[in-house]
């Protein structure tokens, strides 16, 4: 029999399953955000490898002359791009690696580079100050 009270029971059931869906999707979203946050805190393996290598400033300076002088000047004194003599004091090595491989700040391009070469470039930049 369809009495008014049994009707309202059915509606309540539907409401509950709507809320259940809502909370389930919120929980899923929260989980996704959680894992995404953890992922972004995990250090990039390229950076980890680069920072574990002791670079050579001399070969770094050669790489610099080939790839970077057009914008940063023949002795890194600055041109289109900024002077890099203080770069290793102003920013962490990790940030410098990011700067070189990610192309985050156009017009500076991103470079596809081996960790060894990146370590050499870092050594060169450290030798500047
Ligand atoms: C096409 C021009 C260009 C080339 C080539 C280039 N850069 Fe840059 N670079 C820039 C510009 C412009 C900036 C400033 C970006 C900004 O912060 O707005 C910059 C910023 C930087 C910074 C950050 C400096 C600071 O104080 O914020 C570093 C480090 C750097 N470059 C290193 C390099 C290295 C190493 C190379 C070669 C592998 C290179 N760049 C090649 C244009 C260039």
CATH number of 45-127: 1.10.760.10
Domain boundaries, the chain: 1-42, 45-127
Per-residue confidence in pLDDT tens, the chain, 129 aa: 555 555 666 666 777 888 899 999 999 999 999 888 877 667 789 999 999 999 999 999 999 999 999 999 999 999 999 999 999 999 999 999 999 999 889 999 999 999 999 999 999 999 998
Contacts of residue 65, Cβ cutoff 8 Å, sequence gap at least 6: 74
Contacts of residue 118, Cβ cutoff 8 Å, sequence gap at least 6: 46, 50, 55, 97, 100, 101
Neighbouring C-beta atoms of residue 7, cutoff 10 Å: 10
Ligand 1 site, residue 82, Cβ cutoff 6 A: yes
Indicate which atom in ligand 1 lies nearest the CA of residue 121.
Answer: 35
């Amino acid at each position: 029999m369809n009495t008014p009270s049994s009707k309202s029971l059915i509606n309540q059931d539907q409401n509950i399953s709507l809320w259940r869906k809502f909370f389930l999707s919120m929980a899923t979203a929260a989980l996704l955000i959680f894992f995404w946050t953890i992922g972004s805190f995990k250090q990039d393996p390229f950076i980890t490898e680069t920072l574990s290598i002791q670079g050579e400033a001399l070969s770094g300076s050669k790489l610099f002359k080939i790839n970077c002088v057009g914008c940063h000047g023949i002795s890194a004194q600055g041109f289109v791009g900024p002077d890099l003599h203080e770069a290793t004091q102003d920013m962490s090595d990790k940030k410098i690696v990011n700067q070189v491989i990610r192309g985050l700040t156009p017009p500076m391009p991103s470079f596809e580079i081996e960790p060894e070469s990146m370590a050499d470039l870092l050594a060169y930049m450290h030798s500047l100050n």
